[in-house]
Structure 1
Amino acid sequence: MEFGTWNDHFSLCAFDRRLGIVFRTLVLICLALVAASAARAEPFETSAPVALLLDASSGMLLLGRNVDRPVEPAAMAKMMTVAVVAEALAKGETSLDTEYPVSEQAWRKGGAPSRSATMFAALKSRIRVADLLRGAMVQAANDACLIMAEGIAGSEDAFVVRMNALAAAIGMTHTHFSNVTGFADPDQHTTARDLAVLVQYLVDHHPQIYAVYGEKEFTWNRIRQLNRNPLLTAVAGTDGGATGASDSAGFGLAASAMRDGRRLVLVVHGLKSVKERADEAARILEWGFKSFEPKEMFAAGETIGEASVFGGTSWTVPLVADGPVRLPVRTDSKDQLQARIVYDGPLPAPVRRGDAVGRLQVLREGIVALEIPVRAGADVPVGGLGKRALDALYEFGVGLVRGRAERS
């Protein structure tokens, strides 16, 4: 059993099956005390029913409130429409200069007659993909999304199949799309965590397309419309994102901002008005940039903890991450984080350097804020017959004690 401290910000507890009942009790007491200490730290208060703030470089959650609660994506679903178009462009299925016709279906459902967000595409005209993307990304235009879906996949339904396939591929595990516009549908749902995954996917894999989200206005059919993302003018460094709203879902926003080399991803949802959405989103982003700074907790190759080994030449093996572990921590020293190494042990020998062993989990306010794999940092060959017999006897004894405790 090992307890340690990381720069007074972490409590590290590593444990496995080899711990006896008494030691398990001590570990649980330790975790309870650390959790109570974390509860005393003043959390950031937000009026958003759903809120997520993510440090993109480390993948660490800085703020999490109902991040896995199912919500309507509303118009934020258009980000996946854009992502599928970006994939089609990357694969050569279409080009920015390809023109698609404006069908009557797209015009009626998402154009001027729909009285919804539109780029006012003229019926039976032809529009380049480059302009349709600007309509969808800057103006949240429903007609633009429908025109691209029909042009690339033949129909909206066929395009939605692609949306769900891509969502699954990039790790949006709690999302299902029913249409390309985000119109309310009982079968369409997502989470704040999944929306953050989508934003980061666009930033990382399609940066040139994502950059269109940063354009402040777009004019089509002699009608000038401003970008619907209020953070572009309210928070320095904001370079993209999308808004969404519906009577049932409330007002939401998914966006990203970069400042001094640090990128934050923000998702809020369920707010009561356009103004509350803008004000709360700006407040959370500013807090994130001002209240955290990156710190290196472990250098590359540095031992993070140990795992127990069964039947090896050594009782334990050191654990290391794939690279340096850098985490954002509170600048006011009020951050109270818990960390734990989770693995299924003891590990049977032989153990080879580089073997995937388990995960390092960092918790903030009881929520897993970061999870990274840990690997064996050394070789542990199979031990001699005496060592293996001793390990087997130890495991047998621990099993007896545990079994009696569970029956009592």
Structure 2
Amino acid sequence: MNLRALPLISLLALLLATLPLHAQFDTRATAAYVIDHTTGTVLLTKNPDLPLPPASMSKLMTLNMVFEALKDGRLRLDDKLPVSQHAMDYQGSTMFLNTSDRVRVEDLIRGVIVLSGNDAAAVLAESLSTDGTEAGFARMMTTRAAELGMTNSHFTNSNGWPQAGHRMSVHDLGILADRLITEFPTFYPLFAETEFLFDGRAPQNKFNRNPLLKLGIGADGLKTGHTNEAGYGLVGSARQGSRRIVFVISGLQSAQARAEEAERIVNWAFRQFVEKDIASEGHMLAQADVWMGESSSVGLVAPKDLLLLVPALGQNKLEATVTYQGPIEAPIEKGQQIAELVIKRGDMPDARMPLVADRSIARGGFLPRLRTAAKLLLKQVAGGAQDLL
């Protein structure tokens, strides 16, 4: 493959000036995953793909299954679901449901999100399971998780109750959080609710356990988790201005440590990184050689407004190149992706952004093709002569 690196560094240096190398955030969590939701930039990983007991954070997968069922009509918010003895027998955090209840789906969803109700999750699971059991629903969860790219998740129940083999990685939980935010905007605001009192039954369990929701830092979700085996964890998200971050932490030693670590991560993610405009849609960044076309070159333009997340402070300059396999053979269609903008950001992963043709170029007739062949021959001859010097 012949990759061409074009002189774009000076242009980006003018746009972005001097930018920093970022240091890895020192987290006390056993595992952590932080991503800038707006740009898709991963900011922090620590044991991201290690399968761990997720405790109640795995209820997010149950909610994903419920939201999918609501979206395709298998379930309605006003449907009233029966409570089995199995669901009623769950201990820990519950809605205090009993077998005489018929509970609206919307109330059960709030019971899962705000109250972390183990019984509520089991009721929803049994209603959607192909065999009517929570275990059957857990198998459905595992299959669906794999389809969504969550390769380190295996479920044995709907709510994260301690059980052998019930595992998720923080990376998988991050993928799931991103999906809930992006795919279900109608339901996502429920994650920001701080209080839900169901039927006056459990005044001692009416508050959302997410410690960030009342801090005024843009937090609006998603789910806490705790068991003795898992420690204290949180799948969180916060929005400030045009940016949103999603983070997952697991294995903290106390609720206070979880709250402190979550707030530290949110502050770090928003203060240590900033968005920069690279190019507006249609802006030409470079040109590429064309083979056998009506024109000998084609402009490389941004297909959309290009944003880049960069460290906020420091001394390292960004390095950028445009690469393409060339010369590019005609015909070329306008808007066809034919190149890539690659930007190095110190310790951060390289940013890769597609570039497209600014216009269509038809295959040339005899004379343009003859000129192209002659130019290539002259370049080869000149290159061979230099090799002899």
Q: Is 2:39 the counterpart of 1:70?
A: no
1:312–1:388 Cα contact (<8 Å) kept: no
User: How many Å separate the matches in 2 of 1:349 and 1:91?
Assistant: 45
**Residue aligned with 2:187, SS:** helix
Measured after TM superposition, the shift of residue 102 of structure 1 is: 1.2
| Partner residue, 1:228 | 209
Structure 1 runs not aligned, ≥5 long: 12-33, 399-408
2:80–2:102 Cα contact (<8 Å) kept: yes
Q: How does 1:3-402 map to 2 (within 5 A)?
A: 3=7, 4-5=9-10, 6-7=12-13, 41-61=22-42, 63-66=43-46, 68-72=48-52, 73-108=54-89, 111-112=90-91, 116-153=92-129, 154-164=132-142, 166-168=144-146, 170-172=148-150, 174-184=152-162, 187-220=165-198, 222-224=201-203, 225=205, 226-305=207-286, 309-312=290-293, 317-332=298-313, 339=320, 347-357=328-338, 359-360=340-341, 362=343, 364-368=345-349, 370-382=351-363, 384-385=369-370, 387-388=372-373, 391=376
**Residue aligned with 1:228, SS:** coil
Residue type at the aligned position of 2:116: A
Q: TM-score, normalised by structure 1?
A: 0.76
2:138–2:158 Cα contact (<8 Å) kept: yes
User: How many Å separate the matches in 2 of 1:251 and 1:54?
Assistant: 20
Of Structure 1 and Structure 2, which has the larger fraction of its residues in helix?
Answer: 1
Please say which of residues 286-295 and 72-81 is displaced more in the overlay. Answer: 286-295
Structure 2 runs not aligned, ≥5 long: 384-389
Measured after TM superposition, the shift of residue 341 of structure 1 is: 5.1
**Residue aligned with 1:328, SS:** strand
Residue type at the aligned position of 2:261: E
Residue type at the aligned position of 2:300: L
Measured after TM superposition, the shift of residue 78 of structure 1 is: 0.9
User: How many Å separate the matches in 1 of 2:186 and 2:99?
Assistant: 29
**Residue aligned with 1:204, SS:** helix
User: How many Å separate the matches in 2 of 1:143 and 1:380?
Assistant: 63
**Residue aligned with 2:214, SS:** helix
Please say which of residues 380-389 and 212-221 is displaced more in the overlay. Answer: 380-389
Measured after TM superposition, the shift of residue 217 of structure 1 is: 2.1
User: How many Å separate the matches in 1 of 2:161 and 2:264?
Assistant: 28
Percent same amino acid at aligned positions?
Answer: 34
Measured after TM superposition, the shift of residue 193 of structure 1 is: 3.6
User: How many Å separate the matches in 2 of 1:52 and 1:342?
Assistant: 30
* Structure exhibiting the larger radius of gyration computed from Cα positions: 2
User: How many Å separate the matches in 1 of 2:134 and 2:33?
Assistant: 30
Please say which of residues 143-152 and 46-55 is displaced more in the overlay. Answer: 46-55
**Residue aligned with 1:217, SS:** coil
| Partner residue, 1:27 | none
| RMSD over equivalenced CA pairs, Å | 3.7
Instruction: Identify if the C-alpha distance between structure 1 residues 358 and 330 changes in structure 2 by more than 3 Å, giving closer, same or farther.
Output: same
Instruction: Identify if the C-alpha distance between structure 1 residues 218 and 368 changes in structure 2 by more than 3 Å, giving closer, same or farther.
Output: same
| Partner residue, 1:25 | none
Instruction: Identify if the C-alpha distance between structure 1 residues 10 and 217 changes in structure 2 by more than 3 Å, giving closer, same or farther.
Output: same
Measured after TM superposition, the shift of residue 96 of structure 1 is: 1.5
Q: Deviations over 1:329-388 (max 9, x none)?
A: 344355765555565555443322222335545555545375544323333444514524
**Residue aligned with 2:107, SS:** helix
**Residue aligned with 2:196, SS:** strand
Instruction: Identify if the C-alpha distance between structure 1 residues 179 and 318 changes in structure 2 by more than 3 Å, giving closer, same or farther.
Output: farther
Total equivalences in the alignment: 369
1:104–1:124 Cα contact (<8 Å) kept: no
Measured after TM superposition, the shift of residue 273 of structure 1 is: 2.9
Measured after TM superposition, the shift of residue 227 of structure 1 is: 0.9
Measured after TM superposition, the shift of residue 392 of structure 1 is: 8.4
Segments of 4+ in structure 1 off by > 6 A? 8-11, 392-398
Measured after TM superposition, the shift of residue 52 of structure 1 is: 3.2
User: How many Å separate the matches in 1 of 2:348 and 2:230?
Assistant: 24
User: How many Å separate the matches in 2 of 1:209 and 1:259?
Assistant: 20
Measured after TM superposition, the shift of residue 82 of structure 1 is: 0.7
2:152–2:172 Cα contact (<8 Å) kept: yes
